[in-house]
Amino acid sequence: MDLSYSAEDIAFGEEVRSFLAEALPTYISDAVRSGGELTKPMMEEWHAILNKRGWLATIWPKEFGGTGWSPVQKHIFEEECCRAYAPRIVPFGLSMLGPVLQVFGSKEQQDHYLPRILDGTDWWCQGYSEPGAGSDLASLKTRAVHEGDEWVINGQKTWTTLGQFADWIFCLCRTDPEAKQQAGISFILVDMKTPGIEVRPIKLIEGGHEVNEVFFTDVRVPYENLVGEENKGWTIAKFLLSHERTGIAGVGFSMQALEEVKALARKVRRGGKSLMEDPLFAARIAQVEIDLEAMKITNLRMLFKAQEQGAPGPETSLLKIKGTVINQELKDLARRALGPAATPFPGHITDGNLMFGPADTAHNAARYFNNRKTSIFGGSNEIQRNIVTKTMLEL
Amino acid sequence: MDFNLTEDRQMLADTLGRFLSEQYPIEHRNKVAYEAPFHDPALWDQMVELGVFYALAPESAGGMGGAGFDISVVFEALGQGLCPEPVLAALMASRLLTSAGVEQDDLLTGARRYAVGISEIDAPYELDHIATAATAEGDGYTLSGRKSTVYGGHIADVILVAARHGGGLGLFAVEAHAANVTSYGMMDGGGAAEVMLDNTPAKLVLAEAEVALQDALNAGIVALCAEAVGAMEVTHAITVEYLKQRKQFGVPIGKFQVLQHRAVDMLTEIEQARSITIKAASELGGPEASRTASMAKNLIGRVARLVAEEAIQMHGGIAMTWEYSVSHYAKRLVMLDAQLGDTDYHLSRVMAGYAA
């Protein structure tokens, strides 16, 4: 048992810091800090910068162009990126489809798609949820029929994050309606430019546009866009979801949020003193800071375990349950610290109507509302509890 | 960075765990833990022979360990076995003697039993409100005051007492027979004592003892946190097993989602508790020791109470009985919050760090 960083790890941290100081454009980190929506070119630019440095695919094996980093290195990198307000890397190609293709894809699929994920040619989105299939994902109805050398797809996907920017979508489709629910599903890759696809925006609680509905009407794609075996897509779906949960503790983002809350509480005045001197508020901060301190170690312990086992295990569900709640608590504290100064609607924030502090602080109410999503997406926290019940408690 | 135990520590954990499960089954434990002398003198001697105390002291003091992880390994095993022996008293005394640079062979060999008197009725946790005072007398000292809930004080030969001295705190050794010691058994088993000092002769061990006392408290906190983690692990395992076996409405109650999710939440929090204990153990003796110890004791206080109360509730009536082991684990988990600073006390210590 040894929590200290090795000399190599410390040197690596310094290398990451100096890289970020040099390579991360200020206009991008400012946009992240201010909490508004990032533009597509911003996200693409950061993706390309990381790819050029070879630090993009942190969870891929080296043979596919990944970094081959140790758990500690991944942790250091994530922490430093958050500290520098680097954008979150869009995960759909890198963290979700990439690992799927590496395990289930054909050699041709690997050779074709993986380099295009790295160089940013293809922006991927995720076609999982449907209006009638959320937590009960296996009840999905989007139908793919094998006709000649094509799939003909009809149906609807929803909650498609950043689908408005995507070139491709990976879809779970029902390919055998007679089979038992999980048995008749296939994993199919679809070019978003294919005729019959329509993307409609969903406006979220805080007014932002990050998710969409995607409609499929007689969409025809080549049969070889199938990944793995026909009707065996559920195995892939589960594999992908377990990868989706790595890094889902969001420890780096919560550390960033904690620093912001502390800075706010020191600036905000209440009753002639700083809010930090209010024992009730300070106690709320202290309690969540302690939870986060524990979560940092829990996250590292699970990363190590994942490395030893070669794949993330069901413990990642525990990370998701606790990590999202910690993050939500921090967003709530930031909103409460601001009090009425959190009032302006994001679209109406101007220097003239700000009651307090720099413009970025005014976004805290929006961030609080937006972040309620984290305990719902990626398998709701209730679904995570079901997973742990089955796999770890064996009830 | 490495989350595996060293071979030596793993061996120590296995040996102690085996010893406790073979020699100290819960029925025996409950028999000795609630009747004077509130422990098993024969098993205490055997634990001494196993070298448990040597693992708690550094080589410089004649021991073979003394690091945070040596302490946590020992106490996690003690917690799993719900051991009522006052090892915490020996640990904290050893820690103080090490800081003072005083030879401690009699402690390590078990020749003399030590306890530590810090707590007072009006200052159960905080060092800066200690009222017990030392007076120089001839070439020695006398102490006056009352030390409260002195863990292990019921069987101690020597009590190391924190007392006001020269504008600060000094550490003094008092022969137990020279003091007025009232022993009693505790709610959660094991023994403690009230120690009344009235011009009681004492030997100065360390003149300026604040730093040493804080270090002993930090080590004690790591020990208590690890003990809690061990006890919570067992409590959770018994609870999950019960969910599989107990049938109501024709099905095992573990099939009910309301209980499943609560069992998962217990597990999540226990993992967090284990993590913060690892953190505090790794920082013990370093500049962040007090802060991380406070973080750990706060989280342990919250989680231990959750696990105790949920375990009782999910079992139903059976865990309310003396007969069933969970009731005894639950008592230990709840009552250890009142040892060496409770949830609120340690939260306020973390908050105090924000003032800077």
Render pLDDT for A203-241 as a digit per residue (tens, 0 to 9): 999 999 999 999 999 999 999 999 999 999 999 998 888
Place of tokens 């897509």: A233
HSE-CB for B106 with a 13 A CA cutoff: 11
List the catalytic residue out of A79, A80, A244, A329.
Answer: A244
Per-residue pLDDT of chain B (356 residues; tens, 9 = 90+): 889 999 999 999 999 999 999 999 999 999 999 999 999 999 999 999 999 999 999 999 999 999 999 999 999 999 999 999 999 999 999 999 999 999 999 999 999 999 999 999 999 999 999 999 999 999 899 999 999 999 999 999 999 999 999 999 999 999 999 999 999 999 999 999 999 999 999 999 999 999 999 999 999 999 999 999 999 999 999 999 999 999 999 999 999 999 999 999 999 999 999 999 999 999 999 999 999 999 999 999 999 999 999 999 999 999 999 999 999 999 999 999 999 999 999 999 999 999 86
b vs e for B256-269, b when ≥16 Cβ sit within 10 Å of the residue's Cβ?
beebbbbbbbbbbb
Question: And the tokens for B151?
Answer: 């863990």
Candidates A389, A390, A392, A394, partner chain B, best to mutate (most B CBs within 10 A): A389
What does the alpha-carbon distance between residue B289 and residue B298 come to, in Å, rounded to a whole number?
A: 14
* The Cα angle at residue A35 between residues A29 and A40, in degrees rounded to 5: 65
Sign of CA dihedral A108, A111, A114, A116: negative
Nearest CA-CA distance, residue A136 and chain B, Å: 16
Q: Which residue of B has its CA nearest to A383?
A: B261
pLDDT at residue A343, as a whole number? 82
- A275-281: long-range contacts (C-beta < 8 A, 24 or more apart)? A275/A337, A276/B354, A276/B355, A277/B355, A279/B348, A279/B351, A281/A333, A281/A336, A281/A337
Sign of CA dihedral A79, B352, B297, B51: positive
Q: Are B104 and B62 in contact (CB under 8 A)?
A: yes
What does the alpha-carbon distance between residue B339 and residue B87 come to, in Å, rounded to a whole number?
A: 14
Question: Minimum mean pLDDT among A32-41, A272-281, B78-87, B136-145: which range?
Answer: A32-41
The gap from C-alpha B23 to its chain's centroid, in whole angstroms, comes to: 21
- Residue B264, chain A, CB below 8 Å: the answer is yes
List, for residues A249-261, the tens digit of each pLDDT value. Answer: 889 999 999 999 9
Inter-chain touch A300–B3, beta carbons under 8 Å: yes
CB atoms within 10 A of CB B129: 10
What does the alpha-carbon distance between residue B301 and residue A116 come to, in Å, rounded to a whole number?
A: 51
- Higher confidence at residue A179 or residue A348? A179
List, for residues B218-267, the tens digit of each pLDDT value. Answer: 999 999 999 999 999 999 999 999 999 999 999 999 999 999 999 999 99
List, for residues A112-145, the tens digit of each pLDDT value. Answer: 999 999 999 999 999 999 999 999 999 999 999 9
Domain(s) labelled CATH 2.40.110.10 in chain A stretch across 122-232
pLDDT at residue A382, as a whole number? 96
| A244 is a catalytic site residue | yes
ipTM for this prediction: 0.95
What does the alpha-carbon distance between residue B16 and residue B78 come to, in Å, rounded to a whole number?
A: 8
> CB within 8 A of B244, min separation 6: which ones?
A394, A395, B252, B254
pLDDT at residue A203, as a whole number? 96
Candidates A8, A293, A319, A381, partner chain B, best to mutate (most B CBs within 10 A): A293
CATH of domain A122-232: 2.40.110.10
Candidates A262, A297, A316, partner chain B, best to mutate (most B CBs within 10 A): A297
Q: Are A164 and A201 in contact (CB under 8 A)?
A: yes
- Higher confidence at residue A69 or residue A34? A69
Domains of chain B: 7-105 (1.10.540.10), 114-208 (2.40.110.10), 212-352 (1.20.140.10)
Q: Give the residues across from B170 on adjacent strands.
A: B163
Helix residue ranges per DSSP H, A228-358: 233-244, 251-267, 279-309, 315-338
With 80 as the cut, is the pLDDT of residue A351 above it? no
* Mean pLDDT confidence for A298-308: 87
CATH class of A245-393: mainly alpha
Question: And the tokens for A222?
Answer: 């080549």
What does the alpha-carbon distance between residue B241 and residue A10 come to, in Å, rounded to a whole number?
A: 44
Inter-chain touch A297–B279, beta carbons under 8 Å: yes
CB atoms within 10 A of CB A208: 16
CA distances for A264 relative to A82, A85, A337, A360, B213, angstroms: 18, 17, 7, 11, 36
Nearest CA-CA distance, residue B264 and chain A, Å: 6
Give A113: exposed, middle or buried? Use CB within 10 Å, 0-12, 13-18, 19+: buried
For B264, the closest of A285, A289, A393 (CB atoms) is A393
H or E element at residue A375: none
b vs e for A298-318, b when ≥16 Cβ sit within 10 Å of the residue's Cβ?
bbbbbbbebeeeeebebbbbb
Amino acid at B136: A
Of B69, B61, B73, B176, the closest CA to residue B107 belongs to: B61
Strand, coil or helix: what is A41?
helix
pLDDT at residue A59, as a whole number? 87
What does the alpha-carbon distance between residue B117 and residue B89 come to, in Å, rounded to a whole number?
A: 9
CA distances for B170 relative to A180, B204, B210, angstroms: 75, 7, 8
Pairing, β B158-165 against β B114-117: parallel
Question: And the tokens for B200?
Answer: 């009681």
Contacts of B354 in chain A (CB under 8 A): 262, 276, 282, 285-286
With 70 as the cut, is the pLDDT of residue A357 above it? no
CA distances for A136 relative to A95, A128, A147, A322, angstroms: 23, 11, 28, 22
Of B344, B343, B332, B346, the closest CA to residue B293 belongs to: B346
> CB within 8 A of A279, min separation 6: which ones?
B348, B351
- Would you list the DSSP string of A132-179? TBSSSGGG---EEEEETTEEEEEEEE---TTGGG-SEEEEEEES-TTS
For B282, the closest of A3, A289, A315 (CB atoms) is A3
pLDDT at residue A315, as a whole number? 86
**Local confidence band at A193 (pLDDT 50, 70, 90 cut-offs):** very high
Q: What is the dihedral of CA A111, A112, A118, A120, to 10 degrees?
A: 170
pLDDT at residue B356, as a whole number? 63
Q: Are A110 and A119 in contact (CB under 8 A)?
A: no
CB atoms within 10 A of CB A144: 28
Question: And the tokens for A346?
Answer: 């994001």
Strand, coil or helix: what is A271?
coil
Sign of CA dihedral B310, B313, B319, B321: positive
What does the alpha-carbon distance between residue A94 and residue A307 come to, in Å, rounded to a whole number?
A: 18
What does the alpha-carbon distance between residue A85 and residue A90 come to, in Å, rounded to a whole number?
A: 15
pLDDT at residue A204, as a whole number? 94
pLDDT at residue B131, as a whole number? 98
Q: Give the residues across from A154 on adjacent strands.
A: A143
Nearest CA-CA distance, residue B279 and chain A, Å: 7
Residue B126 dihedral angles phi and psi, to the nearest 5°:
-95, 130
pLDDT at residue B338, as a whole number? 97
Question: Minimum mean pLDDT among A149-153, A243-247, B166-170: which range?
Answer: A243-247
Question: And the tokens for A234?
Answer: 């559920």
If you compute the radius of gyration of chain B from its CA atoms, what whole number of angstroms results? 20
HSE-CB for A317 with a 13 A CA cutoff: 23
* Mean pLDDT confidence for A310-329: 90
Inter-chain touch B350–A295, beta carbons under 8 Å: no
Domain(s) labelled CATH 1.20.140.10 in chain A stretch across 245-393
